[in-house]
Structure 1
Amino acid sequence: MDAVIPAAGRGSRLGELTDDRPKGLVEVAGRPLLAHVLETSVEAGADELVVIVGYEAGRIVDRFGDAFEGVPITYVHQRERKGLGHAVLQAEPHVDGTFLLVNGDNVFAESVEPAVAAVEGADAVLAVEETSPAVARTTGVIETDEAGRVKGIVEKPDDPSSTLVTTGCYVLPEDVFHACALCRPSAEGEYQLSEAVGLLVRAGYDVATVRLGERVNVNAPADVERAADLVERQ
């Protein structure tokens, strides 16, 4: 299975930590943040890695080269950062079949392989977690039926209908690329992956949910410390 890792962002909220490096090269427990994400993808069974780069792309290419732990890497340049849906669309020429997507700023305590396994009984899988209403307003909010199947997904709602949110780990069919191409930009000019997944749901695709272990989304300096603690507890 291919794995797509969006890692094009600068990480401006990390302040001076990204003054001289891209977000993916910020050190977490003695290793680049992106190394943890690549390792997570490989451990889940990825046999091809598609890394989407942008800010200071050359430094990421120089650091990781053409393979990680023996798994080949293809780099795709996202020249304009227009949201996760736009980033994913850049990978289309390099992906064959259903693929794993792990955001390049997420550190997971446990394997994401259960998400990969769950797609055997569905068209797509979203890894989800419960959070506070305040956090739900800042991310993709999921509505599910009694069987845990996705009924809808809304990005950054003002009034969240649930506190079940995405975690930056997905298993998606190739058709999501077409859905991404159909998305309209948000008020901020971004194309949201959540909208593309919503289009699949409305088209009748069976989208399952799984709950993984603890994870840290690295956005601020304090998150770097939290992610390092998580890694060191493993």
Structure 2
Amino acid sequence: MKALILSGGHGTRLRPLTYSQQKQLIPVANKPVLFYAIEDVIEAGIKDIGIVVGPNKDQVIETVKSVDWDADIEFIYQGDPLGLAHAILVAEEFLDDEEFVMYLGDNILKNGIVEHAHKFKELNPESLILLTEVDEPQRFGVAELDENGRVRRLIEKPKVPPSNYALVGVYFFKPVIIEACRSIKPSWRNELEITDAIQWLIDNGYRVEASIVKGWWKDTGKPEDILEANRLVLDDIQPKNDGITENSKIMGRVVIEFGAMIKDSVIKGPCIIGKNSQIINSYIGPYTSIGNNCVIEGTEIEDSVVMDGSIIINAGRIVESLIGRNVKISEHDLKPKGCRFVVGDNSSVWL
């Protein structure tokens, strides 16, 4: 089996961050979201991975190649994001008439895909799609299942949902999906929708099975989703201290990476402090990820993501914030009690 991981798109819901970086490279617990997908498919025994890229493709390629993965990785340029089914057609040569899993690179699953890959092999359908129960199915693509648990119909954001099973961004396919993708027409969004291609399989007598996701799943498409995913991942971290602490208090499950310095500060987990970062006279609270090479001084930060190279000095109290790379936040005339930011890369903010 091969894997097709999608890392294209413009990420408009994550602007201004995505003006300068690809959305799948935004870190959760100091790891690019895309890496979780790569790790999941490798864990499932897949060694042949194609990554579909679009805007910021060089950035994605450079970031992925910075790691020595236990797999062969090929990059496939999609160009304009014309739908998930279009991405499959673009990758047809790579797929080479083999079965594959398609994994949206901005999704994170707590328990990975090993169980679902085994189910695909065991049941041997033309497609197996991952589903999860949600509270508001009208916000998602929803699957209607028959009495045997097979997929009967897919409906995009139904006003009256036939079930509360929403599509997760992971799909297993046999090569017949290529024919399905060629047979459908663009939607009102002028995209070739994967839901239409799967529905084509069903309508033409092919078997589409469902596999229910156990544990949490998160689509990191919006700033609040990034923060929620960060909380979920940090809940499972194991404490580690490879840095230097001086006159500081470390409480709970905290990861301090190599070269980090904690001085005159309080760190309360779960949280992670990246390599070579400096935390001085500050408070880093639960569910916070501080990237590599950051400086935090005279500031309280809680429930936030701060990306690599950012400097935050005397900024009061920062909560529920998503702060890009190489951002500078420093004191000016005012000292607000609380601040909330979604700040793009290479920005400066005066308080």
Fold agreement, TM-score > 0.5? yes
Could you state the TM-score of these two structures normalised by the residue count of structure 2? Answer: 0.63
Provide the rounded CA distance (Å) in 1 between the counterparts of 2:148 and 2:234.
Answer: 35
Deviations 1:80-108 (A, max 9, x none): 11111112221111114211111111011
Q: Are 1:130 and 2:133 counterparts?
A: yes
1:216 — aligned with what?
218
Q: Within the alignment, does 1:44 sit opposite 2:44 as a pair? A: yes
Decide which structure has greater helix share.
1
Displacement over 6 Å in runs of 4+: none
- Give the Cα separation in 2 of the matches to 1:67 and 1:116: 24
Deviations 1:26-77 (A, max 9, x none): 1111011111111111112211111000011011111112975220111111
Is the CA contact 1:98–1:171 (under 8 Å) kept in the aligned structure 2?
yes
TM-score (norm 1): 0.93
Once the two structures are superposed, residues 155-186 of structure 1 have per-residue CA deviations (whole angstroms, 9 ceiling, x without a partner) of: 33344322211101111111101101111111
Cα 1:68–1:148, aligned 2, differ >3 Å: closer, same or farther? Answer: farther
In the alignment, the residues of structure 2 paired with residue 79 and residue 30 of structure 1 have an alpha-carbon distance, to the nearest angstrom, of 28
Per-residue deviation, residues 3-35 of structure 1 (Å, max 9, x unmatched): 111111121111222121111111111011111
Q: 1:153 Cα deviation (Å)?
A: 1.1
Written as runs of structure 1 = structure 2, the 5 A alignment for 1:5-24 is 5-24=5-24
1:139 partnered with 2:145: no
Counterpart of 1:205 in structure 2 is: 206
- The aligned length equals 232
Q: Give 1 or 2: higher strand fraction.
A: 2
Aligned letter for 1:146? E
Letter in 2 for 1:208: E
Q: Note the 1:16-165 alignment, pairs <5 A.
A: 16-65=16-65, 69-96=69-96, 97-119=98-120, 120-123=122-125, 124-133=127-136, 136-165=137-166
More deviation, 209-218/59-68: 59-68
- Distance in 1 (CA, whole Å) between partners of 2:68 and 2:23 is 18
SS of the residue 1:4 aligns to: strand
Q: Please give the secondary structure, in 2, of the residue aligned with 1:165.
A: strand
Unaligned runs of 5+ in 2: 237-351
> Partners of 1:218 and 1:118 in 2: how far apart?
26
Q: CA 1:66–1:31 in structure 2 vs 1: closer, same or farther (change >3 Å)? A: closer
On the 8 A contact 1:154/1:195 being kept in 2, the answer is no
Structure-2 change in CA distance of 1:68 and 1:183 (3 Å): farther
* Secondary structure at 2:130 match in 1: strand
2-side partners of 1:79 and 1:211: how far apart?
32
Contact 1:85 1:191 in 2 (8 A): yes
CA distance in structure 2 between the partners assigned to 1:113 and 1:8 by the alignment: 24
Q: Residue 131 of structure 2 aligns to which amino acid in structure 1? A: V
Whether the 8 Å contact between 1:54 and 1:78 is mirrored in structure 2 is yes
- 2:57 maps to amino acid: A
SS of equivalent to 2:15: helix
For structure 1, the 5+ residue unaligned runs are none
Structure-1 separation of matches of 2:138 and 2:178:
26
Contact 2:42 2:70 in 1 (8 A): no
SS in 1 for 2:16: helix
Checking the alignment, whether the CA contact within 8 Å between 1:143 and 1:161 is kept in structure 2 is yes
Counterpart of 1:168 in structure 2 is: 169
Tell me which structure has the larger Cα radius of gyration.
2
Residues 1:225 and 2:221 aligned together: no
